[in-house]
């Protein structure tokens, strides 16, 4: 839901009373094999070892800021990701990504 949503009451109702329910979150997991956002569903889905790994990482995660400046981060991230997929050394590529982002936002 965004500030520009035309019907915030209906959108909030949909998010809270439908998408945010354990039943729907569990079904979304079953259909897409993606870690559910709802903790109760995520715990149930964690019987899958891959999902359990994502849940463990998510437990210590810090949300990214929702600001336009993050576009600079994603630009370098995409370049690094493509390089690694195409065979570049992951460690050196990640270090370059880190340096590029620090320079861009510094």
Global pTM reads 0.50
pLDDT at 42 over 90: no
What tens digit of pLDDT does each residue of 85-98 get? 999 999 999 999 99
- Is residue 42 a contact partner of residue 55, using CB atoms and an 8 Å limit? yes
- When pLDDT is averaged across residues 59-82 and rounded to a whole number, the result is 84
pLDDT at 81 over 90: yes
> Burial letters for 83-104: b for 16+ Cβ neighbours within 10 Å, e otherwise?
bbeeeeeeeebeebbeebbeee
Average pLDDT, the chain: 87
Q: How far is CA 35 from the centre of its chain?
A: 10
């Amino acid at each position: 839901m965004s500030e520009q949503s035309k019907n915030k009451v209906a959108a909030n109702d949909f998010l809270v009373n439908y998408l945010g329910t354990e039943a729907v979150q569990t079904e979304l997991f079953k259909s897409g094999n993606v870690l559910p956002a709802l903790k109760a569903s995520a715990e149930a889905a964690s019987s899958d070892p891959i999902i359990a790994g994502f849940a463990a990482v998510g437990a210590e995660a810090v949300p990214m800021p929702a600001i336009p400046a993050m576009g600079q981060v994603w630009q370098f991230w995409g370049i690094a990701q493509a390089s690694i997929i195409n065979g570049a050394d992951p460690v050196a590529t990640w270090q370059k990504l880190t340096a590029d982002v620090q320079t861009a936002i510094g």
